[in-house]
Amino acid sequence: AQTVTQSQPEMSVQEAETVTLSCTYDTSESDYYLFWYKQPPSRQMILVIRQEAYKQQNATENRFSVNFQKAAKSFSLKISDSQLGDAAMYFCAYRTGPLYNFNKFYFGSGTKLNVKP
Amino acid sequence: NAGVTQTPKFQVLKTGQSMTLQCAQDMNHEYMSWYRQDPGMGLRLIHYSVGAGITDQGEVPNGYNVSRSTTEDFPLRLLSAAPSQTSVYFCASSYVGGSSGNTIYFGEGSWLTVV
């Protein structure tokens, strides 16, 4: 089974600065999808950004961008110009490729991001 | 724009009681699933369904049952609640294809405490 590892249980960043959250994964597949989800204290899971493994270009969504290193099986999230509202738990997730009959998602254990004013 | 709706949001059970967590989605997604989230751990898959009438076990299925009689609904049943089932439960739906395919949509979570 695929595994997703987030080695940083908790991180802190000053408001307006940049922070990078790390994620590595283990897979034998060549086609798959990667995601970052944000979970605020309300516990709702919110999609932040996604990356298709077949795309070499790193995904970006406003202040959020990823550094996808397929050979190294690394998928880090960079948050620029951090805002107080970015404070949350962030989960990295891996989704199996389209050849399977069910798109199973595998989640890391999460990184708690604190934003200091 | 309801998305994925879970009920109840909070529930306290006594050991040995049974209950059903309800989940409904209005996006006509083929895939639905249930996850549990325990402190310090990521979400773990309990059961999933690839369409009406088709279900299968995930990573941690013991103590839970599911059924999928319609595309919209995917209830999760706790057969005989145990303290180890104290957790936050998330229902999710997804589909493959389209501009927003390959993305999973979560409900808001159900907080379950077993005493």
Query: pLDDT tens digits, chain B, 115 residues: what are they?
Result: 679 999 999 999 999 999 999 999 999 888 899 999 998 778 899 999 988 999 999 989 999 999 999 999 999 999 999 999 999 999 999 876 655 556 788 999 999 999 9
Q: What is the pLDDT of residues A7-65, one digit of tens each?
A: 999 999 999 999 999 999 999 888 888 999 999 988 888 999 999 888 889 999 999 99
Q: What is the chain A residue with the closest CA to B41?
A: A109
Question: How many Cβ pairs within 8 Å bridge chains A and B?
Answer: 61
Q: What's the pLDDT score for residue A65? A: 97
Distance from B90 to chain A by nearest Cα, in Å?
A: 9
The per-residue DSSP string of A36-82 comes to EEEE-TT---EEEEEEETT--SPPEETTEEEEEETTTTEEEEEE-S-
Chain B interface disruption, residue of A33, A35, A37, A43, most B CBs within 10 A:
A43
Contact at 8 Å (CB) between B52 and B77? no
Report the gap between the CA of A86 and the closest CA in chain B (Å). Answer: 18
Element (DSSP H or E) covering residue B103:
strand B103-106
* Cα–Cα distance measured from residue A89 to residue A111, given in angstroms and rounded to the nearest whole number: 5
